[in-house]
Amino acid sequence: MIMGNEVETPKEGKYIYGIIRHADAIDYGPIGIGKRADRVYGITYKGITAIVSNSPVMIYEARRVNMITHENVLEEVMKNFTVLPVRFSTISEHNDDVGVLKILENEYKKFDDLLGKMEGKKELGLKVLAQEAAMYESIIEKNDDIRTLRGKLINLPPDKTHYQRMKIGEMVAAALKKETENLKNIILDVLNPLAEDVKINDNYGEMMILNAAFLINSNIETEFDKAVNDLDGKLGSLMTFKYVGTLPPYNFVNIVINTKGV
């Protein structure tokens, strides 16, 4: 109950970042989420460990500072372990280890199976964006109809060629869609055979060609890197490759834990 101007203090719980296979004590120091930067450590049940920190029981806003802290903890853990990421802002409402131990006990088989499936694998991200001017010039160069019509209009006043210019715009848009799909398939034909799994995410903006995550075995990372670099060398005059790794496997595992009543 809140009396007068008193503010009720949130109860304390355990913020859960991820799950690893580990049997011994583990401590990452004061890198936890929130302004307090609580100590991040492990709670273990039968060789499977939840990476946690103390936290008020609350819903953390999906702000950049919070998301980055959550990700930084997982990336620190990933330096030595395969990690199953837990959904952002998952908090056990117990202020001791009991609630997390109960979760590990209840979900043990699922965590054990997933850790086995993900062992020795990592996620790599690739975003490919068309270089606008170079791509449009390439399209015009390849399409006789567009090039011919543009040539006819180039010295005519815009106000008298409005519909023809609209037609060119429609032709270029159609050609761009076809070309970006073709380039996307060229990239995926090279990279897909090297990956255990692939997740194609939504593009943002008409100049994005590919937004993908690749789950690969760690022992072929060098081969995968080379394949991306070779594609960049071959196609880099038309597009920009943004290659990111190593990432927690958010696109392939994102554990949702029901902490209510546990």
Rounded Cα–Cα distance for residues 131 and 151 (Å): 23
State yes or no: pLDDT of 226 exceeds 60. Answer: yes
Give the pLDDT confidence score for residue 70 in this predicted structure.
96
The answer to whether residues 108 and 216 belong to one domain is no
Please state the pTM of the whole predicted model. Answer: 0.80
Q: pLDDT tens for residues 174-186?
A: 777 888 888 899 9
Rounded Cα–Cα distance for residues 143 and 82 (Å): 49
- What percent of the chain stands above pLDDT 90? 62
The residue segments making up the domain with residue 182 are 123-247
The answer to whether residues 75 and 130 belong to one domain is no
Kindly state the average pLDDT of the residues 125-151. 78
Number of domains in the chain: 2
Tell me how far CA of residue 165 lies from CA of 134, 141, 145, 177, 207, in angstroms: 20, 17, 13, 18, 21
pLDDT tier, 161 (very low <50, low <70, confident <90, very high otherwise): low
Kindly state the average pLDDT of the residues 107-112. 96
Give the pLDDT confidence score for residue 1 in this predicted structure.
45
Q: Evaluate whether 247 touches 80 at the Cβ level (below 8 Å).
A: no
Q: pLDDT tens for residues 6-53?
A: 556 779 999 999 999 999 999 999 999 998 899 999 999 999 999 999
State yes or no: pLDDT of 59 exceeds 90. Answer: yes
The answer to whether residues 160 and 243 belong to one domain is yes
Give the pLDDT confidence score for residue 248 in this predicted structure.
85
The answer to whether residues 114 and 128 belong to one domain is no
The answer to whether residues 89 and 182 belong to one domain is no
Last residue of a domain, one of 75, 99, 119: 119
State yes or no: pLDDT of 256 exceeds 70. Answer: yes
Q: Evaluate whether 126 touches 214 at the Cβ level (below 8 Å).
A: yes
In terms of average pLDDT, the best of 88-92, 206-210, 237-241 is 88-92
The answer to whether residues 136 and 232 belong to one domain is yes
pLDDT tier, 214 (very low <50, low <70, confident <90, very high otherwise): very high
In a domain, 3, yes or no: no
